[in-house]
Amino acid sequence: MLILEKSEGRQPATRMGAAILFQYKRSLRVYSVAVDTAYRMMGLGEALMQHVVNFAVTHGYERITLEADMANTKLVEWYKRMGFEPARPLTDYYGPGEAALRMVLSLSGKGSGQDHMVIVVDDARQSQDWAPGIPFCSAKDYLSDTNYSKSSRFQVLNLCNSQKTHSMGYYVSLLASARNHLVVPSVMAMKDATSTMVAQSLLDEIREYVDRKLPANKGPNFELTVILGMTDNPRYCELAQKLFTLFSIPFFTIQLQWSGAWSPKKIKVLHLKQVLADSPDLLRDALTAYCARKRYTRPRLKNYKYDLAILTNKDELTPPSDAMALERFRKAAEKVGFHVEFITKADQRRMCEFDALFIRETTALDNHTYGMSRHAYTEGLVVVDDPWSIMLCSNKVYLQERLANAGVCQPKGWLLARKACDDKFLKSLPLPLVLKLPESSFSQGVYLVKTIDDLKEKLAVMFTKTDLVIGQEFLKSDYDWRIGLIDNTPLYACKYYMASNHWQIYNWASTGGEEFSGKSDAVPVNQVPPGILKAAVSASSLIGNGFYGVDLKEVGGKAYVIEVNDNPSVDAGVEDELLGNELYERIMRSLFNRIEAERQQVRYVY
């Protein structure tokens, strides 16, 4: 919110106008602009809008959007004079019969790439002496100026002389990554330069080009100095650019050795003082060329509109998706327009690099999955599973109460409190009885008791972990229904059969095979009993519109909702048996559409 005030001496400031803005990743939305009636016709509204435009330009936004009353032609013309162009009408925007006009101001022509380029050096004043006209910023200013910390639309070239851990140069790269700035070099790039194995892996990306460019008869060793993608040897200009793109280090000398193939022998990182002393003209030319470019990222085989992080855990015993399913998710995501990266809990601090987070690790409130979901949401990412779905689905107490209050049919249930479970009460419960810990998943923390002694014994153990246990009547069936939904629309249906000689789908006391989990059958959604589908949609809609798996039992022709699961299983050959790749594409398309929709909506972070 921007407040326009007038201040006279020691008198309290007088508020004359205000503008409310919503900041998205690439666009700035003007929600409202207002000037007090006592101060109109003084050019204050135009001054306020010009401030908004300047703010957007200096913070790297690509466009400014707003909605204007279509019937107010004077207002529409006023925005047009400031460069806004009509985009499309929005019917019934303010109310029935009250249309708005979406207007857009493109900022692509409002400044060059240099407007958003930050070249960080130890002393900005000294740098102007040898490179006049090139924008420099001192490391101290970059680290402390809030203009840099509050926007992600900057490109940072870190030329500090020291990049050692805990040096000023180190913290420039570290905080640039935290601010989601495009930074060269990153902390990781500097560490990679010291690893011959990593260097070899990177060099493999241009293996064929290197072998063509550097025949074996050139000798056992080859050395090339690269200055921001340029070199003083015209013959190797293209090679220098490729090496700079791979390693993302401003200045370095690379030594290659021949032993049947070219491989990196050593990479020596050079510092600004060295380069300035040895090649001042080349440095100025390279800096000028670098500033003229628009964007600096590692090359991709295709330009994708959004970046998607998929959270996984390779050490998990029963992950929500197996390796083949994860690969199908990746291909589906790329098909709809995502660049995909599989991440782990170690990547939590990189969340700002992505537009969406898709969790494929078993979620729980008390581990990193909920924390990463919450962090991603507050950073503006589209998240599946969102933190509210994780919180609500993981707590069986909440689910039972929520479903009961909404009139959803479920097995009879009781809340068993530690201090209220006397003998009289326990003997009144029907047996056999299913006991559940409030937070459980994949049938863990769920037990079947058949006698009063079993009930007392199991409760005694469970009450060491929680003050409240859920008791639920036992409904016997050969299989459970699982209806997978996204956007509250049935996506797939499966019958999960019980494990051999066991009452659950999973038997955690077994050694594996059929004794561990039962078989499954995929069923076309249009062949699922209508009552099952209706109950599943009703239950999932009480949680949200995410990706859910609703477990149900069909007893006597009646559908009973057992629970609603966030982060439901999708394994190759099981849930995707009928839809194949379409299942993965529909899920990825939902994430993509959510990002598109959120660019136009108000977002609240509680």
Q: What is the CATH number of the domain that holds 352?
A: 3.40.50.20
How would you write 546-573 as a 3-class SS string?
Answer: CEEEEEEEEECCEEEEEEEEECCCCCCC
Q: Are residues 417 and 374 in the same domain?
A: no
Task: Work out the pLDDT band at 25, boundaries 50, 70, 90.
Answer: low
Mean pLDDT of 490-505: 81
- Which residue blocks in 133-227 are alpha helix, DSSP H? 139-144, 146-149, 168-178, 187-192, 196-203, 207-213
Angstrom distance (rounded) from CA 105 to CA 94? 22
Q: Are residues 174 and 248 in the same domain?
A: yes
Write the DSSP symbol of residue 542: T
pLDDT (0 to 100) of residue 271 = 92
Residue 58 has pLDDT above 70, yes or no: no
Does 490 map to a domain?
no
* CATH code of the domain containing 52: 3.40.630.30
pLDDT (0 to 100) of residue 569 = 92
| 215, HSE (Cβ side, Cα atoms, 13 Å) | 2
Phi, psi angle pair for 563, to nearest 5°? -170, 165
How would you write 234-276 as a 3-class SS string?
Answer: HHHHHHHHHHHHHHCCCEEEEEEEECCCEEEEEEEECCHHHHH
**What is the identity of the amino acid at 568?**
P
Write the DSSP symbol of residue 590: H
Mean pLDDT of 301-313: 82
Q: How many CB atoms lie within 10 A of CB 362?
A: 20
The answer to whether the predicted template modeling score (pTM) of the entire model surpasses 0.85 is no
| Domain termination residue (choose one: 234, 263, 292) | 292
Residue 334 has pLDDT above 90, yes or no: yes
Angstrom distance (rounded) from CA 258 to CA 284? 33
Does 487 map to a domain?
no
- Strand partners for 481: 495, 552
Encoded tokens for 70 = 């279509």
Ramachandran region of residue 228, left (φ > 0), alpha (ψ -120 to 50) or beta? left
Q: Is 378 exposed, middle or buried (0-12, 13-18, 19+ CB in 10 A)?
A: middle
Mean pLDDT of 425-431: 91
Task: Work out the pLDDT band at 341, boundaries 50, 70, 90.
Answer: very high
Q: Are residues 375 and 445 in the same domain?
A: no
Quick one: which of 556, 450, 550 has its CA closest to 503? 450
Q: Is residue 474 a contact partner of residue 448, using CB atoms and an 8 Å limit?
A: yes
Q: Are residues 281 and 340 in the same domain?
A: no
Residue 113 has pLDDT above 60, yes or no: no
What strand order describes the sheet that includes 338-343?
A: 338-343, 306-311, 356-359, 382-384
Quick one: which of 187, 194, 248, 243 has its CA closest to 214? 243
Residue 64 has pLDDT above 60, yes or no: yes
Mean pLDDT of 184-208: 76
Angstrom distance (rounded) from CA 90 to CA 324? 43
* Element containing residue 95 per DSSP (H, E): strand 85-95
Angstrom distance (rounded) from CA 131 to CA 139? 17
Mean pLDDT of 384-399: 85
Q: Are residues 120 and 251 in the same domain?
A: yes
More confident residue, 342 or 304: 342
- Please name the residues in contact with 453: beta carbons below 8 A apart, sequence gap of 6 or more: none
Give the distance from CA 430 to its chain's centroid.
46
pLDDT tens-digit series, residues 254-284 = 998 888 788 888 899 999 999 999 999 999 8
Give the mean pLDDT of the chain: 84
Does 272 map to a domain?
yes
Q: Are residues 235 and 370 in the same domain?
A: no
- Strand partners for 19: 2, 33
pLDDT tens-digit series, residues 138-190 = 888 888 876 676 665 678 899 999 888 778 888 888 888 767 688 888 877 77
Q: Are residues 417 and 288 in the same domain?
A: no
- Please name the residues in contact with 40: beta carbons below 8 A apart, sequence gap of 6 or more: none
Angstrom distance (rounded) from CA 436 to CA 459? 10
Q: Is residue 49 a contact partner of residue 33, using CB atoms and an 8 Å limit?
A: yes
| Total tally of structural domains belonging to the chain | 4
Does 168 map to a domain?
yes
* CATH code of the domain containing 467: 3.30.1490.20
| Domain termination residue (choose one: 91, 106, 121) | 106
Q: Are residues 280 and 418 in the same domain?
A: no
Encoded tokens for 472 = 């639920």
Residue 335 has pLDDT above 80, yes or no: yes
| Domain termination residue (choose one: 73, 89, 106) | 106
Mean pLDDT of 463-492: 90
Q: Are residues 257 and 214 in the same domain?
A: yes
Does 482 map to a domain?
no
Does 546 map to a domain?
no
Does 514 map to a domain?
no
Q: Are residues 177 and 31 in the same domain?
A: no
Task: Work out the pLDDT band at 312, boundaries 50, 70, 90.
Answer: very high
Q: Are residues 199 and 166 in the same domain?
A: yes
What percent of the chain stands above pLDDT 90? 41
- What domain range includes position 255? 113-292
Q: Over the Cα atoms of the chain, what is R_g?
A: 30
Q: Is residue 408 a contact partner of residue 538, using CB atoms and an 8 Å limit?
A: yes
Range among 101-110, 301-310, 517-526, 535-544 with highest mean pLDDT value: 535-544
Provide the Cα torsion 266, 272, 276, 277; round to 10°.
-60
Angstrom distance (rounded) from CA 586 to CA 590? 6
Residue 192 has pLDDT above 80, yes or no: no
Provide the Cα torsion 146, 152, 154, 157; round to 10°.
90
Write the DSSP symbol of residue 321: S
Q: Are residues 184 and 280 in the same domain?
A: yes
pLDDT (0 to 100) of residue 260 = 78
Does 30 map to a domain?
yes
